[in-house]
């Protein structure tokens, strides 16, 4: 899937530290679907943990991570997430919108199937 349009509600020129911040991004794909994501930098994630005195990022909708908040980096990341019919973009968006859209039973079945396959591989190699 191709990215048709990217909009920054906050202009990139207003980001004070492109290596340590995050920004909302609106994305329109070629099929007309619109998404909103948070794009963050690794340093911003570290700052979040330091500010909250924790050693991990709590479970939540993952941000899209770029080294620096530049238009080029953000566009490259979004294009990557839009590959393969925008699988990862759709997954992030749906997971962040409402857990009811994710069928946990199907996830559990997939995990069990993968585990059985891995167990069979382990038994073959012994």
* 3-state SS, one letter per residue, for 65-125: ECCCCCHHHHHHHHHHHCHHHHHHHHHHHHHHHCHHHCCHHHHHHHHHHHHHHHHHHHHHH
Domain-located, residue 54? yes
Kindly list the strands in the beta sheet with 3-7, ordered across the sheet, starting from the edge strand earlier in the chain: 3-7, 22-29, 34-40, 64-65
Domain-located, residue 69? yes
The first and second tokens of residue 97, run together, are 């919108």
The first and second tokens of residue 77, run together, are 């990341």
The first and second tokens of residue 93, run together, are 């968006």
Domain-located, residue 18? yes
Domain-located, residue 43? yes
Domain-located, residue 120? no
Res. 107 pLDDT band, cuts 50 70 90 = confident
Q: How many CB atoms lie within 10 A of CB 76?
A: 12
Enclosing domain of residue 9: 3-101
pLDDT in tens, 40-95: 999 999 999 999 999 999 988 889 999 999 999 999 999 999 999 999 999 989 88
Instruction: Report how many domains make up the chain.
Output: 1
Domain-located, residue 37? yes
Domain-located, residue 45? yes
What average pLDDT does range 106-116 have in this prediction?
A: 91
Give the whole-angstrom CA distance, residue 20 versus residue 68.
8
Q: What does pTM read for this prediction?
A: 0.84
pLDDT on residue 125 = 57
pLDDT on residue 23 = 98
pLDDT in tens, 70-83: 999 999 999 999 99
Does the structure show a pLDDT above 90 at 126? Answer: no
């Amino acid at each position: 899937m191709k990215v048709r349009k990217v909009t920054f509600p906050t202009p990139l020129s207003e980001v004070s530290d492109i290596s340590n911040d995050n920004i909302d991004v609106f994305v329109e794909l070629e099929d007309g679907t619109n998404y909103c994501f948070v794009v963050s930098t690794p340093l911003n994630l570290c700052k979040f943990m330091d500010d909250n005195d924790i050693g991990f990022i709590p479970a939540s909708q993952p941000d899209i991570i770029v080294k620096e908040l530049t238009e080029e980096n953000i566009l490259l990341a979004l294009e990557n997430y839009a590959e393969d019919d925008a699988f990862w973009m759709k997954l992030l968006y749906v997971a962040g919108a409402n857990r009811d859209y994710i069928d946990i039973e199907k996830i559990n079945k997939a995990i069990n199937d993968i585990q059985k396959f891995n167990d069979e591989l382990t038994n073959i190699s012994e």
